[in-house]
Structures are given as C-alpha cells and as structure tokens.
Chains A and B, each alone.
Chain A
C-alpha cells in the first residue's frame, strides 16, 4: 500500500488524481490488488526492497507499527493541531499494560490484555489532556514531552514495572498452524519458489515475523477506514476548525475543548494499541524502547509525509521506519543522514512530501472558472494555513 505511493511522491499526487477519477468497481479492484500485494510483499522478498541480512517480515512489521503510530499522532497533530512531543508515553502505557498482564504479574492471554492495555492508554490520554489541553499550544508541547519522560523514568525506577531490566515473555497472539506458504528466492536472478523457506500461516512465532506483519497490516487498514469515516464527519470538521482558528471555531458553536480532548484520547487509543502489539512481537520490553527520541521520530513521520493527510503520514512512517533498516550498512551515519533529511525536507518541501488535500474537484472547478472567465481569476497558487 504505502510502497506504491511512496517511491515517487510527486507522481503520487497525479496518481491519486487518476485513481479518484476512476469508476468505482475499478477503483475497488485496484485497492484490493494493492492490499493483496502488500500482504504478499514479505513472501515475494523482492530484491533491492528487502533489506539485506535482516528479516524482511520483521522490518515490515516495524513499518506497520510506525504507520499505526503515525495515524494516531496525525489525529492529534495533523487534524486537531495539538503539538504532542510525548506520544511515546501512550505507546509505553499500552506496551507495559500488555506486558504486566500477560507475563509479569498475571497470566492473561494477549487477547484479553489488549483491550485493557488500550483502555489504560486512552484513560491516560484523558487524564493528561483534561488539565493540560487548556494551556496554550507550545506549552502543551513541553508538558507532553514531560509526560513521555515521566512515564519512561517511572518504568525505569519501579521494580513493579521491571525497572531497567524490563519485562520478558510477553504473550503472543494465538494462531492455529493451518498451512505453509513458500517464499520466493531470487538468488539465481529469477524468482523461484523456495520450499525450504516457508511461513506457517497464522503461527505467531519467534523466528518468522510475517504473521505479525499481517496482523499489523490488518490493523493499519482498519484504522485507515476508521480514520476516513471520522475525518469525514462533524468530528473531523470540528478538529480541523479548532486547528485552523480555535476562537473562531468556538464562536461557530464548536466546543473546542471537548474535541481537543477527544482527539487526544483517540490518539492515545491508537498509540496504546500500537504499543501493545509491539510488546507482543518483541516479547520483551524495557524502558530503552520508549526514549524521547521515539516521540520525535513519530512526529517526524507525521510531518515528513504531510501532516493532515493520511496517505502522507503513511509515507512518512514508512520512510522513518524503513530507511534506517534498509541502510544498516551505514549504521553509524544513520541518525546524521536522518537529521539532514529532516532539515532538507523542511527547507525545500515545507508542506511534507504529500501535502494535505487540494481536492481534485477544487482543481477541476478552478479550471472551469478559468475557462469561463478567461483567466480573469488569478489564483493558481496554493496558499497554506
């Protein structure tokens, strides 16, 4: 899914235009094919794309987790315009709740722990948001940053939470071993089915991460649908209006505080879910997985792709998660290159790789008007908020 659009973002915009203009059945077929390709990607192990030396399925799972986190943070930052520098805190609460319930202090099955983990992170979002969402935007940034650090430091310092050692043996999702699928092998230059390298369908094992990727991908797709449904409703409009001009929104009858809190809670919900899934895949977590650096990486994912645009943030998440894995050879210079890329992006493409909509219909309409008024209307340029 993201791969198709990610490679050449400039063309992606035009591509989107063509996709939107297609007849509906064709469109649905195309999306289904794209989804199937995404599911099959780790089995195909295409050269160049699949990173050398590491488990492709595992890398792709990480990508889906970043996608999930980026979608959640996009609601907070991109839609509602609240700068959150401590998003990793919710991710950590989800992960720790799952870890404690399935391994450290209880023996719950993961499927039972998952809803509790998500509820805990959502609740923490409400508890943090209720007092702090009244303070102004930039203060919110530093308060959330503080929150993220507090969560990590508390985990580091508390024996009950495994302290610095962390928690291991976190439960995996249940999965029946149904059948085996061979991978492709490209060693000879042409793709061959490799029956020595297979994935057992729906067995969430230690060695083979592909079922986890499938799980992650499914959750991401569900979230994409949910995101779209909510964005395109009174709730989504209220978020955007609040972001654009909080006072004007309030005076147009939007209870902005309630909607900001809702955005915060929704973001925390998704963050907690991502954290719990991550914990289950890793089977082991410690406070080092929840450094402030990750909050910043998550935010970078949202902004790099184009905040406010769900496909944009997926592209951003993909880049942030995948590129460092793919270019492990340059491991020492990864962060340096990443920083330089962030700067270059901010300077040369400040709206992100895929800037938020300038709807196709608006463009068409503009052309019509131009034709009608013979270019009397001079508004070809996009202006920003």
Chain B
C-alpha cells in the first residue's frame, strides 16, 4: 500500500480513452449485506474504472448508501469482497481504507463544526502525514514540513472549490452550499484515488446543481476517479460516464447514461410500476 504519494499536480487533462478499457480501480464482487433479517445488499457486483465518473442510482432504500458504507469500511460485508486496486478491503479499519486512497463525503453533512474550514481540510490532508506528539512538541523538521505541505494543499483545495475566503471561519458558520463544497475539499485532501460523493447536490437549486456538475467534472479532470450517488436523474445523466442502478439491494441495470435512460427495468423502478408489467 503506497503510504506516501505525491499530491497530484492540479489541472491534469482528462484521459480521452473509453472508460471500460482502463484498469479497474474498485471491484465490488458479489457483495451481500444483511442486518438481522433485512437484506440491504444482495449479491451486488460492479466495478469502477480509473478516471471515470460512475453513478450509483436507485430509488430510496435501494441500498446506495449501504453500498458506500461497505466500501468505506463502515459496515462489514456479510459475504462477497471489495477489491481496491487488486487488494481486498476485508478486515481493514476505516482510517486504513482512507489512507489506501478511498475518500468520501456524507449525505447529511458531517463537518467538524467547531473547527475552521482550513482546519477541516487539513485533517483530511493529515491522513498522509505521521507527525506525532514529540515532533509537534519540539517542532521537529518533520512537523514543519508536513504542516506547511498540509496547509498549502488545503488552501489550494479551498481555492479549487472557490471557498478560500472562508478559510478561517468555523465550518458551522458556512452557508449550506459552502459546507457541501468544504466536504468535497476535505475528502480530496486525503489524496484519494477514488472519491465517493453521497448525494452532493441534495438541497441545491437547479443553478447550483449545474455548477456542481461542472465541479465534479473538474474533480475528475484532476485525475480522481469519482463514485457518485445521486437522486437527481438529470444531474446523473449529465455528468456520469457509466451508471449502476440498484433496487431493493440488487443491481438491476448497468450501462451508459443513454442505455440506462431507455432501460425498462429502470423506468419501472423509478415510476414504481411492477417489473412484469413493464417488461
């Protein structure tokens, strides 16, 4: 596991090749999750290719967030496996998974409210650091180097999100939209390869959604791979390369936005029609 990677240079152009020919970055294999009698995920398999934006959609309660939680180590799969760059995530702690290169945001914003925006992002950047209490106490070179590096990176990300002027404000005092943006910046600061966004557009108006779509594309263009959970079909169709559709914990469709748009099972799931009637 690469514990230290150089922060990626900003502004790298997107790779033009078709996404399915690229290497698998995340491989979800036959993932099943049960809570007591409830089966939240039932044999779900899909993969994410390097540099793509994959949409994970489905009606409420389809298991999208559960799937997220399984990937980021919050839940342990009942069966099945998740491979990240060929390494199984089974048995790894949440912070270890983050350090391996998977970062996430939360559906209901979970910032460190009593810390400033800059500090929030620096906590993310600290994932790549190892300063301990002694280095901090005696201001050893390691502390100074990592602190500088973390601060630079955090400021760069705040600028990228367009919220640099709020750097020294407490996260709780930011506007709703800025808090969402700050969450993305914090996740990016951990220097992930894969970044998982859990309904980043929730609560946005259409104009803000368009801006966010643009932003997600730019995140990808920086060289990150993006896994996106989203409710808003328009946004998902507009920004993703491929889409995986879940319903009742099962994968019912997978394909390009155009294919998904015409898929009868998906239409049925979203319109609430019985599957037999639709097909």
Direct contact of A and B (CB under 8 A): yes
Within the assembled complex, what's the spacing in Å between the Cα atoms of A251 and B198?
Answer: 14
Distance of A368 Cα from B167 Cα, bound (Å): 13
Q: When the two chains form the complex, which single residue of B98, B114, B136 contacts A384, counting CB atoms closer than 8 Å?
A: B114
Q: Is the CB of B112 within 8 A of A235?
A: no
Q: How large is the interface on B (under 10, 10 to 19, 20 to 34, 35 or more residues)?
A: 35 or more
Which residue on chain A has the smallest CB distance to residue B98?
A253
| In the assembled complex, B113 has its CB within 8 A of some CB on chain A | yes
A254 near B95 with CB under 8 A, answer yes
Are B169 and A252 neighbours in the complex by a CB distance under 8 Å?
no
Inter-subunit contact A365/B166 (CB<8 Å): yes
- Chain A residues contacting B153 (CB-CB under 8 Å) are none
Q: A250 to chain B: which residues have CB within 8 Å?
A: 93-95
Verify A252–B98 contact, CB threshold 8 A: yes
For the complex, what is the distance from the CA of A353 to the CA of B146, rounded to whole Å?
A: 35
Is B74 touching A247 in the complex (CB atoms < 8 A)? yes
CA distance A341 to B138 in the complex (A): 40
Q: Closest CB of chain A to B158's CB: distance in Å? A: 13
Q: In the complex the two chains form, is A252's CB within 8 Å of B74's CB?
A: no
Q: Mark A217-256, 1 if CB is under 8 A from B, else 0.
A: 0000000001001101111111011011101111111111
Tell me what chain A mostly uses at the interface: helix, strand, loop, or mixed. Answer: helix
A332 at the interface (CB under 8 A from B): no
Quick check: A256 and B95 within 8 Å, CB to CB?
yes
Q: Lowest 6 A-B CB distances belong to which pairs? A: A253-B127, A233-B136, A244-B112, A253-B98, A385-B114, A248-B110
Instruction: Produce 1/0 per residue, A357-385, CB < 8 A to B.
Output: 01101100110110000000101001111
Chain A residues proximal to chain B, CB less than 8 Å: 226, 229-230, 232-238, 240-241, 243-245, 247-256, 262, 266, 308, 356, 358-359, 361-362, 365-366, 368-369, 377, 379, 382-385
Contacts of A377 in B (CB 8 A): 175
* Residue from A249, A362, A383 within 8 A of B168 (CB atoms): A362
Say how far A79's CB is from chain B's closest CB, in angstroms: 11
A241 touches B112 (CB 8 A): yes
A252 touches B186 (CB 8 A): yes
The A-contacting residues of B in range 37-91, CB under 8 angstroms, are 72-74
> By the criterion CB–CB under 8 Å, are B190 and A365 in contact?
no
Complex alpha-carbon distance, A207 and B175, angstroms: 60
Give Cα A382–Cα B166 distance, bound, in whole angstroms. Answer: 15
CA–CA, A245 and B109, complex, Å: 11
Q: CB distance B114 to A244 under 8 Å?
A: yes
Could you write out 27 A-B pairs with CB less than 8 Å apart? A229-B136, A230-B133, A230-B137, A232-B136, A235-B136, A238-B123, A240-B114, A245-B112, A248-B110, A251-B94, A251-B98, A252-B95, A252-B98, A252-B187, A252-B190, A253-B95, A253-B127, A255-B95, A262-B133, A359-B116, A362-B168, A365-B165, A366-B169, A383-B113, A384-B114, A385-B114, A385-B172
Q: 10 new A-B pairs (CB below 8 Å) besides A236-B136, A237-B122?
A: A230-B133, A234-B150, A235-B131, A238-B126, A245-B110, A252-B127, A253-B127, A356-B114, A369-B165, A384-B113
Q: For the complex, is B200 an interface residue (Cβ under 8 Å from A)?
A: no
Nearest-neighbor residue (CB-CB) of B109 within chain A = A248
Separation in Å of the B180 CB from the closest CB of chain A?
14
In the complex, the chain B residue whose C-beta lies closest to that of A372 is B165
Task: Tell me the bound Cα distance from A237 to B124 in angstroms.
Answer: 10
Residue of B106, B128, B131, B173 touching A248 (CB-CB under 8 A): B106
Q: Which of B116, B123, B143 contacts A252 (CB under 8 A)?
A: B123
State in angstroms the CA–CA spacing of A266 and B111 once bound together: 26
Counting chain B CB atoms within 10 Å of each CB, which of A234, A250, A385 scores highest?
A234
C-alpha gap A144/B171 in the complex (Å): 32
B18 interface hit (Cβ, 8 Å) = no
